[in-house]
């Protein structure tokens, strides 16, 4: 085959740039594309015509706003074409199984949720999850076949073996969750832990949008962090990257489930914080009620959550010095509260190098209890993008 002429290469690069822009910010009008890329109007017209012909872009059902609010015809908006087929995002937490079904652009089609204790049996939980996915895929079969799934499991997955490590979740030890779910659904499955998937979701859809370097901290049944650098999730050599819950903060502290003593997680996790608060309250506290009390300005809750934030922030301050993130996003059932965020901010300002502290926004996650499942959808779509 002849080598492409330089003009063709340039045209291919221009097409890729326009597609990337539509994927990130679409739907956009031709004029929007011109403004964002600096391309001439005639070039935009040619490239858009090519993309529509090749089926890579499509005309959106949305209409734009007439130029400068005028009364002219609203411009046609273009978006990236979503090929048929669906992906599932499965989130298995300690007390629930959540399933999202989405198209290949990440738009949600259907959702299922079950309250269940998943700890005693990994394979039983995966049976339930697979049944839920099959039901939603059947219900949305007009959108095309199920093509891939992402899976969130509440424990680190070893990147080389794909198995859950020892020392956690008795009913899951040694299990390879992605392989197990793949067997049940007969589609490719990728698994990761809650902190990594929460990071991915907040990066694409939540509080981390527009930041390529972020640390996502989840305060849930345990404490973990997901690290994104240069727009990419960092898992490390064996999937442990970001496991800040097991940073030792007290040499003589309580024994941790990992076998060490005084890990940060022995001080800060949702169960630990509820345990600290409960004796001072007459009502039975849940994480949801604690979030509500914090929003109402309850001083006891604010104190305990701010202390937890400060303990997290002390460890995250060191991460800020090492990684220089642009955002720290707090999620999980007790991470995304005003007091936790304020405590974390305070400790980062106190313990991180001033340059690193001033560069970082500290914010609450925006996706609530769907963060992990949305991250699992993103993981499944990423799998398809790399192995179509
Ligand atoms: Zn530990």
Tens-digit pLDDT profile for residues 147-159: 999 999 877 778 7
Choose between 23 and 182: higher pLDDT.
182
| pLDDT of 372 strictly over 70 | yes
Q: Which long-range contacts (CB under 8 A, 24 or more apart) does 124-131 make?
A: 124/171, 125/92, 125/97, 125/171, 126/92, 126/177, 126/180, 126/181, 126/184, 127/184, 128/97, 129/90, 129/92, 129/97, 129/99, 129/181, 130/181, 130/184, 130/185
**Confidence band, pLDDT 50/70/90 cuts, at residue 172:** confident
> How close are the terminal C-alpha atoms of the chain, in Å?
24
Sheet holding 57-63, edge to edge: 28-29, 76-80, 57-63
* Range 199-203 average pLDDT: 93
Q: Which CATH superfamily is domain 86-197+371-386 in?
A: ATPase, nucleotide binding domain (3.30.420.40)
Q: DSSP state, 246?
A: G
CA of 167 to the centre of ligand 1 (A): 10
In this prediction the pTM is: 0.78
| pLDDT of 168 strictly over 70 | no
CA of 266 to the centre of ligand 1 (A): 7
CA of 311 to the centre of ligand 1 (A): 15
For 302, residues 6+ apart whose C-beta sits below 8 A from its C-beta are: 294, 339
In the chain, residues under CATH classification 3.30.420.40 are 86-197+371-386, 207-366
Exposure string (b/e) for 11-48, b if CB count within 10 Å is 16 or more?
A: beebbeebbebbeeebbbbbebbbeebebeeebbeebb
CA of 224 to the centre of ligand 1 (A): 11
Choose between 351 and 17: higher pLDDT.
351
CA of 265 to the centre of ligand 1 (A): 7
CA of 241 to the centre of ligand 1 (A): 14
CA of 58 to the centre of ligand 1 (A): 50
Residues 287-304: tens digit of each pLDDT: 999 999 999 999 999 999
Asked if 336 contacts 374 with a C-beta cutoff of 8 angstroms, the reply is: no
Asked if 334 contacts 219 with a C-beta cutoff of 8 angstroms, the reply is: yes
CA of 38 to the centre of ligand 1 (A): 52
CA of 253 to the centre of ligand 1 (A): 11
CA of 131 to the centre of ligand 1 (A): 34
Look up the CATH number of domain 6-80.
1.10.10.10
| pLDDT of 195 strictly over 90 | yes
CA of 43 to the centre of ligand 1 (A): 57
CA of 263 to the centre of ligand 1 (A): 5
| Least confident span in 135-144, 152-161, 347-356 | 152-161
CA of 40 to the centre of ligand 1 (A): 57
CA of 48 to the centre of ligand 1 (A): 54
Residues 273-286: tens digit of each pLDDT: 999 999 999 999 99
| pLDDT of 1 strictly over 70 | no
CA of 279 to the centre of ligand 1 (A): 25
CA of 240 to the centre of ligand 1 (A): 12
Task: For domain 207-366, say whether CATH 3.30.420.40 is its number.
Answer: yes
CA of 168 to the centre of ligand 1 (A): 10
Residues 174-194: tens digit of each pLDDT: 889 999 999 999 999 999 988
| Least confident span in 61-65, 98-102, 233-237 | 61-65
* Range 75-85 average pLDDT: 84
**Residue 151: both structure tokens together:** 């899976």
User: What pLDDT, on a 0 to 100 scale, did the predictor assign at position 325?
Assistant: 97
């Amino acid at each position: 085959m002849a080598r492409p002429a330089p003009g063709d290469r340039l045209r291919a690069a221009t097409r890729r740039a326009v597609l990337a822009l539509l994927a990130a910010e679409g739907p956009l009008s031709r004029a929007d594309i011109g403004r964002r890329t600096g391309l001439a109007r005639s070039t935009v017209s040619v490239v858009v015509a090519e993309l529509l012909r090749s089926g890579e872009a499509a005309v959106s059902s949305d209409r734009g706003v007439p130029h400068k609010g005028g009364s002219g015809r609203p411009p046609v908006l273009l978006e990236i074409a979503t090929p048929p087929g669906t992906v599932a995002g499965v989130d298995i937490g300690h007390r629930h199984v959540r399933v999202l079904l989405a198209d290949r652009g990440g738009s949600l089609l259907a959702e299922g949720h079950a309250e269940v204790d998943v700890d005693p049996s990994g394979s039983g939980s995966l049976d339930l999850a697979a049944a839920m996915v099959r039901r939603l895929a059947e219900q949305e079969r007009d959108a095309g076949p199920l093509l891939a799934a992402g899976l969130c499991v509440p424990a680190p997955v070893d990147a080389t073996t794909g198995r859950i490590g020892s020392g956690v979740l008795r009913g899951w030890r040694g299990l390879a969750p992605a392989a197990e779910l793949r067997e049940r659904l007969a589609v490719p499955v990728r698994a990761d832990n809650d902190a990594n998937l929460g990071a991915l979701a907040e990066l694409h859809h939540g509080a981390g949008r527009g930041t390529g370097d972020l640390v996502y901290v989840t305060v849930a049944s345990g404490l973990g962090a997901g690290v994104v650098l240069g727009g990419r999730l960092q898992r490390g050599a064996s999937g442990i990257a970001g496991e800040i819950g097991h940073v030792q903060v007290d040499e003589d502290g309580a024994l941790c489930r990992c076998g060490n003593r005084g890990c940060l997680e022995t001080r800060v996790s949702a169960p630990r914080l509820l345990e600290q608060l409960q004796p001072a309250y007459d009502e039975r506290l849940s994480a949801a009620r604690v979030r509500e009390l914090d929003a109402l300005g309850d001083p006891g809750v604010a104190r305990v959550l701010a202390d937890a934030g400060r303990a997290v922030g002390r460890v995250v301050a060191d991460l800020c010095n090492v990684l220089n993130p642009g955002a720290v996003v707090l999620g999980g059932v007790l991470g995304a509260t005003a007091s936790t965020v304020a405590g974390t901010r305070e400790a980062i300002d106190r313990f991180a190098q001033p340059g690193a502290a001033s560069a970082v926004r500290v914010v609450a996650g925006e996706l609530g209890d769907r963060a992990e499942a949305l991250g699992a959808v993103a993981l499944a779509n990423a799998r398809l993008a790399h192995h179509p």
